[in-house]
Amino acid sequence: MAIDTTETPGPLYPEYLPHYDPLESVVTVGRFEHDDPGHRADPAFPNLLKNATNVLEMSPHCGTELQGVQISDLSKAGLDELALMVAQRGCLVLRDQTFTDLGFERQREIASHFGPLHKHGWMPHPKQGPEEFVIVYDSKDDLRIRKSWARKSPIQFHVDQSPEAQPPGATFFCMLESPPGAGGDTIISSMTRAFSRLSPSFRKRLEGLTAVHTTANPIAREIRDNGEKAVIRRPITRSIHPVVTVHPVTGEKALFVNSSYTQSIVGWDEEESDYLLKFLFDHINRGHDFTCRVRYEPGTVVIWDQRVTQHSQTLDYPAGGRRHAFRLTPLANAPVASLVEEDDGECRKDEGRMMLNLC
Ligand SMILES: [Fe+2]
158 CA distance to ligand 1 middle (Å): 6
Does the pLDDT value for residue 288 go beyond 70? Answer: yes
Distances (CA, A) of 54 to 49, 94, 283: 9, 11, 33
pLDDT at residue 342 in the model: 59
Q: How far apart are CA 19 and CA 147, in angstroms?
A: 17
pLDDT per residue as tens digits for the range 183-204: 999 999 999 999 999 999 999 9
Task: Output the CA 161–ligand 1 centroid distance in Å.
Answer: 8
Q: 103: CA distance to ligand 1 center in Å?
A: 22
- Report CA(355)–ligand 1 centroid distance (Å): 38
**Could you give phi then psi for residue 171, rounded to 5 degrees?**
-125, 140
Confidence of residue 235 (pLDDT cuts 50, 70, 90): very high
Residue 6 pLDDT greater than 70, yes or no: no
pLDDT for residue 343 is more than 80: no
**pLDDT tens, residue by residue, 17-47:** 999 999 999 999 999 999 999 999 999 999 9
Q: Is it the case that residue 14 has pLDDT exceeding 80? A: yes
Query: What predicted TM-score, i.e. pTM, was given to this entire model?
Result: 0.93
Question: How much distance in Å is there from the Cα of 33 to the middle of ligand 1?
Answer: 24
CA of 318 relative to ligand 1 center, distance in Å: 20
pLDDT in tens, 50-78: 999 999 999 999 999 999 999 999 999 99
Q: Give dist(CA 98, CA 52) in Å, integer.
A: 15
The pLDDT tens digits for 110-150 are: 999 999 999 999 999 999 989 999 999 999 999 999 988 88
Q: How confident is the model at residue 359 (pLDDT cuts 50, 70, 90)?
A: very low
E-strand ranges in 218-313 read 238-242, 244-246, 253-255, 262-265, 291-294, 301-305, 309-313
Q: 27 C-alpha to center of ligand 1: Å?
A: 21
Instruction: Give me ligand 1 centre to Cα 159, in Å.
Output: 6
Ligand 1 mean position, distance from CA 186 (Å): 9
Question: Could you tell me the distance, in angstroms and rounded to a whole number, from the CA of residue 311 to the centre of ligand 1?
Answer: 6
Strands 125-126 and 18-19: antiparallel
Is 220 in a helix, a strand, or coil?
Answer: helix
Q: 350 alpha carbon to ligand 1 midpoint, in Å?
A: 32
Burial 88-123 (b: 16+ CB within 10 A, else e): bbbbbbbbebebbebebeebbebbebbbbbbbbbbb
C-alpha 310 – ligand 1 centre gap (Å)? 8
Residue 87 vs residue 5, higher pLDDT: 87
The topology (CATH level 3) of 27-339 is Double-stranded beta-helix (3.60.130)
Whole-angstrom distance, CA of residue 352 vs CA of residue 311: 27
For position 13, what pLDDT does the model report?
97
Residue 151's pLDDT band (boundaries 50, 70, 90)? Answer: confident
CA of 136 to the centre of ligand 1 (A): 10
